Structure 1
């Protein structure tokens, strides 16, 4: 009963540790670019900087609430990567905003909001100047851009490195859309570096209201996001599986055992164990193979010695030999020669070895069980 209780407690402890690790991972994922997180990967410091400049920040974790807030007043939409939203849902949010700042753009979002733009690698940690005519970037000064993007035909690239740009800005008159690597520039651990804070304030503070949308998996508008196994596998897989099952059943029927009542089979002759032993001895003698016979004698002696010395049935021959020598106080090499190493080359030597094996076994028996030493 105590063992089962211990097992149950151990399972509860392991489950608790696993749950804590899972929860920690979930919180770590939520902290990334979260405007309410004070952790290294959060963006709470940026929110406080914007508020100190008189910008009203509204944090929305629902797409519906974000769309409603954008419809109330002209605002800038801060848009992280939103893989759980369809293209139509992203476009609906963007169309309701005056400015859009993508702070973690992926290829899909770049192609949707900045046609012709694409990812172009990652820059080094060195700070670079804006190198463009975008006023917000010129006022911010140099930054280490992080991810790089190739600008589309209507976009302007700033902070150029190796043919890519760390900031893309597209202004069509009614709306400005910007793309920048937020994790490398706007998180709490990087905001104070170079001109990162100034660039964030200049891009997001163009209007008195900022709607910061925080996407979640529960906010998705996609249907059938979890395809079945049949949808993921090629069409020929299911017929092949059925064919293999049928082949397995057929093979089982073909080669399977026919069940029925047991049939007693009368053996033509019964051979006594002693006659079998004597027959093998004659074969060894006729083959002039004393070593094979010695091996059989030694195997029997080693098995009995292991039982006497409490070594178990799987003990190695060398371990049994050393244990017997230690028990009798004899030289290990001598005992090992009797049990393992000495090679009889004639019947006379085989008989002598048999005698020494018997004497060694008697001595161990007498040392281990002195009250039963007589045989």
Structure 2
């Protein structure tokens, strides 16, 4: 009989092989967590960068959100009036020409303006608010007004005047420079303190110039203190506000030191240099060639040795004499032993004992004695030291 073995089922043939998509699945499982993390980090970074806005910095900068900036005041002004921020006197003149009659010019950091620019702005005959101006600005905009003192910056002052804007604002922290003006000028002062007023206004019939002794109440930090905000809004009560904060002047060129020195001083150096040259020729000594010269007396080296020994003996400096002898012995001996100049004490004693046959302990006591040194007790001991060292030198030879 012939037994018939049925063929295996079709599914069994491929049971031992992984499905075709298993490699892709394993790759996905290995990279999906890092991919999700990286995607999340990129999204967060993009969102943070979009939400970060860079604001300019600076004192009374209209776009600055720092404590000494003035962004808060500008935003309040923009709610019911037109605010035009300019960075130069030319732009200020153009803005005032377009704004019309109901406008006010507010000037900050006027020390950055040239005298000609100040005169041009003063000639516009528009209402102006000067914040802590320079003396040159006072001369151009408000002749007769002068600085008379300074008040405590943290002091709250009361208006005590008839100026409507100041009375409506009430007390304010306007402590800073104080001003005064002669009575015939018709100036009105408010917020008195000490020797002057912190706020003063001059009316020449065509326009008014208001001088504020400090810009602190206009900053973001101090705007909501006392009546600072009300005072600022009242002083800038016009349909159009031109906010002039000049940029720092740009350096267009530089002069050398020679150009800065006056021409007369430069020419005076010529006779001075000539006089110094003549003085050097007059007082200078001409050095000739070197001339060999024999010594008048020949001094033998042994005399120097004996002279130093006599000095040691007169001062009883046996320790120095012993040190000199040991140092000389080691300087002559160490190279003969094949050792370096900075070899240690143990290495020198061991090598010397191997060459001379002496006891290392005896050599150590001879070259590196304990304190006190037995060879410096008297002159006889010093002589014995010299004899011992000479004996070792002869053995090495």
Return the TM-score normalized by structure 2: 0.62
Look up the match of 1:100.
128
Residue from 302, 318, 321 that aligns with 1:297: 321
> 1:143-184: CA deviations, max 9, x gaps?
121213222132211100112111111122311111113432
Shift of the 112–236 alpha-carbon distance from structure 1 to 2, 3 Å rule, reads same
Q: Does 1:212 align with 2:243?
A: yes
Which of 271-280 and 297-306 deviates more? 297-306
Aligned-partner Cα distance in 2 for 1:157–1:189: 26
Look up the match of 2:41.
none
Secondary structure at 1:71 match in 2? helix
- CA shift for structure 1 position 107: 2.2
Q: Does 1:109 align with 2:137?
A: yes
Q: How do 1:1-375 residues align onto structure 2 when only pairs under 5 Å count?
A: 31-52=58-79, 54-72=80-98, 73-74=100-101, 75-96=103-124, 98-124=126-152, 125-153=154-182, 154=185, 155-204=187-236, 206-218=237-249, 245=273, 249=277, 252-253=280-281, 258=286, 261-282=289-310, 284=311, 289-291=314-316, 297=321, 300=324, 330=370, 334=372, 349=378, 351=379, 354=382
Gaps in structure 2 of 5+ consecutive residues? 1-54, 332-340, 345-363
Aligned-partner Cα distance in 1 for 2:248–2:223: 27
- CA shift for structure 1 position 241: 6.3
Secondary structure at 1:189 match in 2? coil
Aligned-partner Cα distance in 2 for 1:352–1:242: 77
Contact residue 34 and residue 43 of structure 1 kept, 8 A:
yes
Contact residue 120 and residue 147 of structure 1 kept, 8 A:
no
- CA shift for structure 1 position 308: 5.4
Shift of the 290–248 alpha-carbon distance from structure 1 to 2, 3 Å rule, reads farther
- CA shift for structure 1 position 101: 0.6
